[in-house]
Structure 1
Amino acid sequence: MIYSMTGYGRAECQGGEISCVVEIRSVNNRFMDVSARLPKRFNCFSDTVKKGLKKSFSRGSFDVSVSFNGGENGSEPYLKPNIELAKQYLHSVETLKRELNLEGGVTLDSLLSLKDILFCERVEEDVEACKGILEETLGQAVHALKEMRAAEGEAISLDIAARLEGIRKRAENIKSQQARIIQDYRDRLAERIKLLAEEANVDPGRIAQEAAIFAERADITEEITRLECHIDQVKNHLAQGGTIGRKLDFILQEMNREANTLLSKVPDYSCSNEAIEIKCELEKMREQIQNIE
């Protein structure tokens, strides 16, 4: 099986009062690049996310978003009254009233205006528990991403296989016309010599010699053979699967060189057109292969 480098995976897991959501988006990249976005208090898990992805993938650019919810509103700060401090304030006020013979009482407004009567407190989740939930959620998101990448990879594989067969047929068509091309050249050469020499006798041996030279220059047997060999190589790699993107890219570069040679050797319009179509198909395949892991 081959994998595309484009995909999306999402997972959500619950652990006690804490839930974790992981979203992964991936696109093609020559290398492995991971960007992880986590809440500040969980930045310590950034390496956990990156290692988890590098264990499962070899190429691609990954954007990972992690969020936690639950556990006292996801550990967001909340206001809490300082009861002990309020009691101390009240006790001090009562002492002042008694010792100085003062009148008046303490209202809620006056109490709330005092420093540190209300304060923010954050309940910290159990770090190890959160890490365990993150690893579980990340694993499920990676699995979902793999499934999408595999589905797209299968579609790319089928498309490439179909184009390969089209290239093979065009190459065979060029090969089948080689004898006709040489004979056409021989006929045109003889006609040209007759015109130049008017009605002079034409040496059949000279025509045969020129035709032989042309046949040697226009021989495309090796190019067709190598092209067919490369087609078989690509199909074998597709069947084997795995991380084959770079291998296929190299093979297609070689196929393009053979197509260029074919184009330069065949003077016939129909064969030249076939060679051009081969190059166009190779370009479309290279675009597809750029997205294979």
Structure 2
Amino acid sequence: MIRSMTGFASARGEKAPFSWSWDLRSVNAKGLDLRLRVPDWLEGLEAALRADLAKALTRGSVNLTLRLGRDEEVPSLALNQTALAAVLDALAEAEEQAMARGLTLAPSCAADLLALRGVMDAGSGEEDLAPVIVQLKAEFEPLVQAFVQMRETEGAALSEILQSQLARVEELTAEASELAEARKGAVAETLRANLARVLANSDGADPDRVAQELALLAVKADVTEELDRLRAHVRAARALLDQGGAVGRKLDFLMQEFNREANTLCSKSQNADLTAVGLELKAVIDQMREQVQNVE
């Protein structure tokens, strides 16, 4: 199965206090061009994502964007052990002095202690991002799978179009072959007339030499090889489509060969009908080449 170089996939995820969104898309390119927009403070994440993409893809201009936000309304609180110890020491001393004077203090609860200033600190230290990075890496795998699946779906549609165009090239090649066969008599008659005209108006010319030159012209007007090569190119293109995988470069090269044979056919046709078929061949081949530009 061939794959298209165009594709798109997106996803969302969260791990408190973070939430994020993925955006992965690609268009055609000569090679593999990876462009990642990932927060640089997620250490090591970009390199890992780049490696995963390089394993899954071979061609295309690929853009990956990771947008990550933090819920600032959920404060990160931490118990200040030093402040709590100081409060507990002060509380014990207060109760001891009160007892010495015959006073009884109301019992304290944890909520009262935690409400005291300095006992609970809003976390301002470095946060452990390792769990977030692990989850991001885990979510990236299904995102890439969905992305590749879309490229395969697009590739299946491309394959159908290319197969249809190859069938048309095959039909036109057969039509050209029939026209070339039918024109042989006319070409031979034209060459005989030209030979007679040249011999009648050339004193001292070597008839054998003139005949050789005209025979050479006849050989140059023969399009049998071009038609044979067109048929061979059709077989080769179908084999590549059946093979699947990253065959875009090979198909692109084959399109150049198709075009070369069609050009030669037109230049050697010497027949209006055969020229018309050659021009239609060129049009179909150009359409094929446009489609091939999107094959990975």
Q: What does the per-residue CA deviation read over 1:112-139, in whole Å, with 9 as the maximum and x for residues that have no partner?
A: xxxxxx9883662432x22221112211
Matching residue of 1:99:
none
On the 8 A contact 1:11/1:141 being kept in 2, the answer is: yes
Matching residue of 1:266:
269
Matched, 1:50 2:50: yes
CA pair 120-184 structure 1, distance change in 2 beyond 3 A: same
TM-score (norm 2): 0.73
Deviation at 1:283, TM superposition (A): 1.4
Deviation at 1:64, TM superposition (A): 0.6
Deviation at 1:266, TM superposition (A): 0.7
CA pair 252-270 structure 1, distance change in 2 beyond 3 A: same
Equivalences for residues 17-36 of structure 1 within 5 A = 18-36=18-36
Identity percentage of aligned residues: 32
Tell me, in whole angstroms, the C-alpha distance in 2 between the residues paired with 1:270 and 1:262.
Answer: 12
Matched, 1:134 2:136: yes
Tell me, in whole angstroms, the C-alpha distance in 2 between the residues paired with 1:262 and 1:33.
Answer: 38
Tell me, in whole angstroms, the C-alpha distance in 1 between the residues paired with 2:217 and 2:184.
Answer: 7
Tell me, in whole angstroms, the C-alpha distance in 2 between the residues paired with 1:275 and 1:136.
Answer: 54
Matching residue of 1:157:
159
Tell me, in whole angstroms, the C-alpha distance in 1 between the residues paired with 2:12 and 2:242.
Answer: 34
Tell me, in whole angstroms, the C-alpha distance in 2 between the residues paired with 1:272 and 1:74.
Answer: 73
Deviation at 1:272, TM superposition (A): 0.6
Tell me, in whole angstroms, the C-alpha distance in 2 between the residues paired with 1:34 and 1:257.
Answer: 34
Give SS of 1:124's match.
Answer: coil
TM-score (norm 1): 0.73
On the 8 A contact 2:75/2:122 being kept in 1, the answer is: no
Give SS of 1:33's match.
Answer: strand
Tell me, in whole angstroms, the C-alpha distance in 1 between the residues paired with 2:184 and 2:160.
Answer: 37
On the 8 A contact 1:77/1:120 being kept in 2, the answer is: yes
Q: How many residues align?
A: 256
Tell me, in whole angstroms, the C-alpha distance in 2 between the residues paired with 1:161 and 1:65.
Answer: 35
Deviation at 1:19, TM superposition (A): 4.3
CA pair 34-209 structure 1, distance change in 2 beyond 3 A: closer
Give SS of 2:277's match.
Answer: helix
On the 8 A contact 2:259/2:285 being kept in 1, the answer is: yes
On the 8 A contact 1:33/1:61 being kept in 2, the answer is: yes
On the 8 A contact 2:45/2:137 being kept in 1, the answer is: no
Matched, 1:239 2:242: yes
Matching residue of 2:100:
none
Matched, 1:276 2:279: yes
On the 8 A contact 1:76/1:122 being kept in 2, the answer is: no
Tell me, in whole angstroms, the C-alpha distance in 1 between the residues paired with 2:11 and 2:62.
Answer: 15
On the 8 A contact 2:17/2:74 being kept in 1, the answer is: no
CA pair 77-272 structure 1, distance change in 2 beyond 3 A: farther
- What are the ranges of 5 or more consecutive residues in structure 2 without an aligned counterpart? 87-120, 201-210
CA pair 58-195 structure 1, distance change in 2 beyond 3 A: closer
Equivalences for residues 171-250 of structure 1 within 5 A = 171-188=173-190, 215-250=218-253
Equivalences for residues 12-91 of structure 1 within 5 A = 12-15=12-15, 18-42=18-42, 44-69=44-69, 73=71
Tell me, in whole angstroms, the C-alpha distance in 1 between the residues paired with 2:133 and 2:273.
Answer: 65
CA pair 236-50 structure 1, distance change in 2 beyond 3 A: same
Give SS of 1:42's match.
Answer: coil
Give SS of 1:292's match.
Answer: coil
